[in-house]
Amino acid sequence: MENLKQKIKRGETLVGFGARYTIERDEFKKIAEQGIYDFAFTDSQHSPYSEDRLVALAGLAGECDLPLHFRIKNTRNTYLIGNHLDLGPSGIEVPQGETVATVDEAVANFYYLPQGVRSHGGAHRVGDPSVGPQAYADWWNEYGVLWIQLESVAAVTSAFNLAQPGVDCLSFGPTDLQMDLDHHGHPDLKTVDDCVQHAVKELEGTETVVCFRSGDPENRSRYTDMGVRVILENAVV
């Protein structure tokens, strides 16, 4: 059975739902059991997340056979990616990515040798660490999903350079991006949709795809028609 990373590489359209940090067990399972979502997403950038809560939610997602994607608190926290992954999520999103240096640090801390320098350990890691350090590392390096979030015009215009090997998705933060457009503007990129289309075009021929927070499921086709391959939506309960 193909994992999320493999499906992304094949160009499948994938849909995830947002799981707030306070979501109850029964509600999460009810959403997951509909069988219409490929993964769940939770956020610590704008939420008071604890490590215990991440362990619990990652465990619940695992029970439901759904990968859990986790947005870290700050761009400067890429050095903590390995620690977050040791708590159980299947993927990481780095907010406000703008530089290749940020991407390089994220990739290094996300992957094990030989692709990165992530340290081995963590009883709550997804998968089966009992297979041994290198076997688990090899499995993880073909399983884990890494996103870098674009939230400014500068980031969007650097999309091709940010799509370094190991970055599965460039995701969009439409609210912050719209604010940046309002304040700084761009001669060619007038709207968030312009930015999405620009990124899709820039990523042609790479192994990185575009992810967009469309919210309402009724917006899905609008963005998939633009070439977006990973969609984040509000859960249908």
CA 185 → CA 42, 77, 202, distances in Å? 30, 28, 19
pLDDT at 48 over 90: no
Q: How far apart are CA 132 and CA 119, in angstroms?
A: 13
Task: Give 184's pLDDT tier (boundaries 50, 70, 90).
Answer: confident
CB 140 within 8 A of CB 3: no
Report whether pLDDT(47) > 90.
Answer: no
Smallest Cα–Cα separation from 3: which of 64, 72, 66? Answer: 66
Query: Alpha-carbon torsion 134, 102, 166, 35, what sign?
Result: positive
Indicate the pLDDT class of residue 4, thresholds 50, 70 and 90. Answer: very high
Statement: residue 1 has pLDDT above 90: no
Question: How many helices (H) and strands (E) are present in the chain, helices listed first?
Answer: 11, 8
Residue 69 to residue 144: CA distance in whole angstroms: 10
One of 1.20.1630.10, 2.60.15.10, 2.70.50.30, 3.20.20.60 is the CATH number of 4-146+217-233, namely 3.20.20.60
Q: What pLDDT is stored for residue 32 in this prediction?
A: 96
Among the listed residues 192, 43, 167, the one whose alpha carbon sits nearest the alpha carbon of residue 99: 167
pLDDT tens-digit series, residues 92-137: 999 999 999 999 999 999 999 999 999 999 999 999 999 999 999 9
Share the mean pLDDT of the chain.
95
Q: What does the pLDDT look like over 10-32, one tens digit per residue?
A: 999 999 999 998 999 999 999 99
